[in-house]
Amino acid sequence: MCVKISSSGKSCGGVGKNASTTSMTNHLKRKHCGEYEQFQGGNSSKKLKQPTIVSALQSCSKWSIDDHRSKSIHYGIGEMIALDNLPYSIVTNKGFQRLMSKIVPQYTIPGRKYFTDNIVPDIYNRLVTVIKNKLVSVPYISLTSDLWTCSHTNESFISFTGHWFDHGFTSNHVVLNYRHFPGHTSEAIKNVFFNMLQMWELNTTSIHLMVRDNGAIIVKGCNEAGILSVSCFIHTLQLVITQSIVSQRSVSDLIATCKKILGHFNHSSAACSKLKIIQNELSVAPNKLIQDIPTRWNFTFLMLKRIYQQKRALTVYSADNILDNLTSNQWMLITYYNPLTRLQIV
């Protein structure tokens, strides 16, 4: 004779094949309410059915490239590439492929050409449609434009960004045009502008104002296109500061010497290592020197400030190494007079 006993020591009732769990269930209901509710919750759910051999094999098989589940992931990857400005080669990277194989084993990542020819262009076309639908109800729109040359490739680019307020007075902005711009002429700028208007189905009368830089070419291009435009205040301020620096020989010489110091450390990892050792010995913050950026005057200020903070370390370094350090007058110039902000550096 066999009596079924629960883990709590309670008899489950019945003998042999007739043993049941009724007694244990009643015990849980009276003495262990929490466990009973959990037990009831488990019983109330749908009973799992044993999968058939066919369904089990299908759950392990790879999805086709046109499967709706695959397409959902295709577009997710495409949006990630576009939003994070990632290279298409990420889909061929081993780390990314291993991650996807663990998350969704049934999914097969297509090649990069599939994303360049299908997914990303389709995302772009969908986004164009959404923006066009928004612009239909916009009576007036303002533009900002920029024309620049890439320092790495020496290729020129131009962009137009649209800005407007909707009916709820919420600010909206979107890049309407960004393209390679090989022709540095006012005629080319005018043509790009009108092509942009045609693509987005905008009229020149709906353009309220365009903010641009002070370049003579873009100024002439806006005038020829009949666009009301104004100079960017920050760019104008940049030109004023640049001219003030050039007009003062002592300041321009100071900045030139600081750039030479930066160049010395930027082209020598050994020099950076030696400077870091000196910084540790002098208990100076091991901060890297800040590179000057000509188009951003605040970086010139930050370069001078960082060099002054590293004065002790640079002085010790220059004593044993070939480095054109600042003169005493130049150190005083950084300390008491900064032509960029007229603020004492602390």
Q: Which CATH number fits domain 139-231: 3.30.2130.10, 3.40.50.10580, 3.40.47.10, 3.30.420.40?
A: 3.30.420.40
Cα distance between residue 105 and residue 97, in whole Å: 10
- Strand bridging mode 11-15 / 171-180: unpaired
Residue pair 119/77 in contact (Cβ under 8 Å)? The answer is: yes
Domain boundaries along the sequence of the chain: 3-41, 60-132, 139-231, 241-336
Paired tokens of 247: 């007009």
Closest CA to 231 of 208, 209, 211: 211
Cα distance between residue 287 and residue 309, in whole Å: 9
- Strand bridging mode 207-212 / 229-231: parallel
- pLDDT per residue rounded down to tens, the chain (346 residues): 344 444 444 455 555 556 667 777 788 778 777 777 776 765 544 555 666 766 666 666 889 999 999 999 999 999 999 999 999 999 999 999 999 999 999 999 999 999 999 999 999 999 999 999 999 989 999 999 988 888 778 888 999 999 999 888 899 999 999 889 887 888 999 999 999 999 999 988 899 999 998 888 999 999 999 989 999 998 888 888 888 877 888 888 998 999 999 999 988 899 999 999 999 999 999 999 998 877 777 888 889 999 999 999 999 999 888 888 898 889 988 886 554 444 444 4
Rg, C-alpha atoms of the chain: 35
pLDDT of residue 339: 47
Residue pair 271/300 in contact (Cβ under 8 Å)? The answer is: no
pLDDT of residue 57: 60
Cα distance between residue 69 and residue 107, in whole Å: 8
State the DSSP code for 205: G
pLDDT of residue 280: 94
First-residue to last-residue Cα distance in the chain:
92
From residue 166, give the alpha-carbon distance in Å to each of 114, 139, 141, 214: 37, 10, 10, 30
Closest CA to 146 of 213, 89, 195: 213
**Distance, C-alpha 276 to centroid of its chain:** 31
pLDDT of residue 3: 41
User: Which residue(s) pair with 165 in the sheet?
Assistant: 171
pLDDT of residue 14: 57
As a 3-state breakdown, the chain gives helix, strand, coil percent values, each rounded to 5, of 55, 15, 30
